[in-house]
């Protein structure tokens, strides 16, 4: 079990290694609201994940988002859809226009398949990164569902930011 932020920094600064299980545990500590995890900066994780996801090629992000959405339980899918579609509408995006511009037709949350979700999420990632940051913050399972390479990438961004501050 990862013990401290200093342990995290040692592992990412080149004096240690990290495996998939440790990455998952560090991610959990960074997204935790438990008082024992207060040294693991939630906001740093949300910002790091958003930055990392923002740098990915469209195809790579969409493939991971498609898989994560397809494997999610129905309540998790609903949460993602409400957050993304509601967030886009709240930012003035006409969902009819968006569906047409993405070649999806009408965006019906009741019938949205993984491919449609991935394309809408990619649009949000490109045009409204603050919405992806909100998604990462409020749906922390989503980042893990994208896959361990994405968790590792986000942790790497967090570590780099923390090293620059030291």
What are 133-164's pLDDT values in tens digits? 999 999 989 999 999 999 999 998 998 888 78
Sign of CA dihedral 20, 25, 27, 28: positive
Inter-residue contact 144 to 27 (CB < 8 Å): yes
Percent of residues, the chain, with pLDDT higher than 90: 64
**pLDDT for 75:** 93
Distance CA 51, CA 138 (A): 16
Q: Pick 61 or 165 by higher pLDDT.
A: 61
Distance CA 70, CA 112 (A): 10
Inter-residue contact 128 to 87 (CB < 8 Å): yes
**pLDDT for 1:** 53
Domain boundaries, the chain: 5-165
Burial class (CB in 10 A: 0-12, 13-18, 19+), 2: buried
């Amino acid at each position: 079990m990862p013990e401290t932020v200093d342990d995290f920094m040692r592992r990412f600064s080149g004096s240690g290694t990290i495996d998939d299980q440790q990455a998952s545990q560090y991610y959990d500590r960074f997204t935790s609201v438990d008082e024992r995890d207060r040294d693991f900066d939630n906001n740093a994780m949300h910002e790091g994940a958003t930055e990392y996801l923002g740098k990915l090629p469209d195809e790579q992000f969409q493939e991971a988002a498609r898989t994560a959405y397809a494997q999610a339980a129905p309540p998790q899918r609903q949460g993602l859809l409400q957050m993304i579609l509601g967030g886009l509408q709240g930012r003035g995006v006409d969902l009819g226009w968006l569906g047409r511009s993405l070649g999806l037709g009408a965006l019906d949350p009741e019938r949205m398949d993984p491919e449609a979700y991935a394309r809408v999420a990619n649009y949000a990632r490109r045009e409204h990164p603050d919405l992806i940051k909100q998604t990462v913050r409020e749906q922390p399972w989503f980042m893990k569902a994208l896959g361990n390479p994405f968790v590792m990438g986000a942790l790497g961004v967090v570590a780099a930011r923390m090293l620059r501050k030291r």
